[in-house]
Structures are given as structure tokens and as C-alpha cells.
Amino acid sequence: MIAGTKAGPGLGYRFRLQMDLKRSRITVTGGSGFLGTHVVEELRSRGCTEVFVPRKADFDLVRREGCEKLFRETRPEILIHLAAKVGGIGANRENPGTFFYENLMMGAQLLEEARIQGIAKFVTIGTVCAYPKFTRVPFREDDLWEGYPEETNAPYGIAKKALLVQGQAYRQQFGMNAIYVLPVNLYGPRDHFDPSVSHVIPALIKKFEDAIEASSPFVEVWGTGTASREFLFVEDAARGIVDAAEKYDRPEPVNLGAGFEISMRDLAELLQKLSGFKGELRFDPTKPDGQPRRCLDTSRAEAMFGFKARVSFEEGLKRTIEWYRNNKNSAR
């Protein structure tokens, strides 16, 4: 449902003032995943009662017929597309073709079916991996096309970036309310702790916990420790995505971040302290660092829909460690 419209400045589309989420049927692809469960909780906390979470077993979104079935059975007015084939550096290096194909096909076919069905809004969740390898810090949304992404995750990043182009094209030609939200690296409770797919924070938390249990004298950390990252607590990310779904209606991508960066060495030392591991840290420079630096300019999100991160980094890490300790068996 739309709470009012006004014409855009001669660009062939219309700016909708605000979506009435409470009165809308909302489908969240990937809604049973790490970020998705938090987005669904955020929607329901705001009074949304018609929120549908399609299961992969029932809807193969890599196939066109799976996308058609999703629209036929859930009949969304708003679709938040979180479903993705994801993983850390190792998984991206081993499966570049799969990461490219599945992410591109899911998003492209869902957008096309959304256009055919004439839904009120489509929210694509992008990735910080879409930015060029040597982007100026902090990353501004206008820098997305200034170079090629970091090689280890370029296929994934380019597949997701193609969906930005598709959404902008559909907005221009068909007046479709398609937006593109670009979160930085996420962490928090319910993250993926399986070493084959986990990102750096859950991977390190698991390493420290395993080392404590086994009384190991050291923990190995990939890379040189010099690369830097920005991290956003998953509950903040979910709030920002729902804010964008409600209030943002422009063709430009919009960053979601916390506005800071930390080196991998400092991150490992902080997690070592918070976990209580007393052994040695050993960095392995034969393993890849990935992109040299990541830190986002988040001024557009603050200006467009008032988003700012609320959870401090140390508090978020403590809550993530606590969750893992309480759910260690299921997380593995």
C-alpha cells in the first residue's frame, strides 16, 4: 500500500512518498536466513501481519518457474530480496561460477516477474563486494563503477551489481519502484559459523572457542592482518532495510553501515580479549587478505530515511559471542 505519490522531475517515474507496511503483503526471500530472520522480526515488530517467508525447498528461485510460483502463491505487494548464494573468501574462490550464476538468476528473474505482476515495491539487497578493489575510503555510492571488484569475490559482486542496473532500467522504462540497499559486512546472533561459508567474525569466534575447549596454544588468522573492514550489527541492518522499504524511493543505491573501520589484526585482538583466549595469534600471509579496505559513507541513508547504527561494535561482538556459546551445537 502507498501513502501518497508525487511526480519525479521529468525522469519517467514517480516518487512514492511512503509505503504503508502494516497494510501491505510482504514477501521476504531468504527470510529464514541470518539477515532474513532479523528483517522479518523487524517487520513484525512494526505491526506487519502479512509477512511471507518462502522456503528454498518449495521455491527454487534460480529457476523461472520457481519465481512465478512464488508470486502466484504469496501474492506480494512488496518484495524484499535477501536470498543469495553467499560465503567467505574460501567459498568464493572455490565456486565463482555458482556464485555468479545463482545470484544473477535469482535477482533478475524475480525483478522481471515483479514487473509483470506490477507490485508496489521491490527492495534488492546488494553487497559491499560490488565496490571496486581500490575504492576511495569512505566508499561513496557514486564510486561503484570506478573499477573492478576484488578478484576473490568479483563474480558475486558483479552479479549483485547487475541487479542495480536492472532495477534502475525498470524504474526508467516502466516506473517500477525498485530500490537497491547496500549493506557493509554484517555480524550478530544467528550468523553462519560453518567454516566453509562463514565470514571473518563468526569464523574467528569459532576458532577462539574451539581453541579454548582444546587448550590450543595458538589460533591461526588468515592474511597479514593489515586489511580493514567495517561491520554492521545485523539488527541495525534489518532496521535500515525496513526503513528503506518504507521510505526510500530513488534510483541511486544507498549504503548501510556503521561509519568506522578496523584492521583485521585489531579485530582478532579484540575478539581474543572478549572470548578470553590466552594463547598466541598467528597470521598466515599465504592466505588472501581480500579487499584492502572497506568503510562506507553512510550520509545518504541518514539524509534519505534517517538511518544511523545504534549498537556499538564491542557490544555487538559480546552479544554475538554470547549467542554462539548458548547455541554452539546448532550453530555448528
Tens-place pLDDT, residues 94-140: 999 999 999 999 999 999 999 999 999 999 999 999 999 999 999 99
What pLDDT does residue 270 have? 98
Closest of 7, 153, 168, 177 to residue 79, by C-alpha: 177
Neighbours of 156 (CB within 10 A): 27
Cis peptide before 217 (omega within 30 of 0): no
Q: How far is CA 203 from CA 17, 136, 197, 218, 261, in A?
A: 41, 27, 9, 15, 19
* 156 classed as catalytic: yes
What pLDDT does residue 12 have? 38
Q: List the domains of the chain with CATH numbers.
A: 15-190+230-260+295-311 (3.40.50.720)
Which residue of the set 131, 156, 187, 324 is catalytic?
156
What pLDDT does residue 13 have? 39
What pLDDT does residue 1 have? 57
Intervals of the chain under pLDDT 70: 1-17, 332
Neighbours of 197 (CB within 10 A): 16
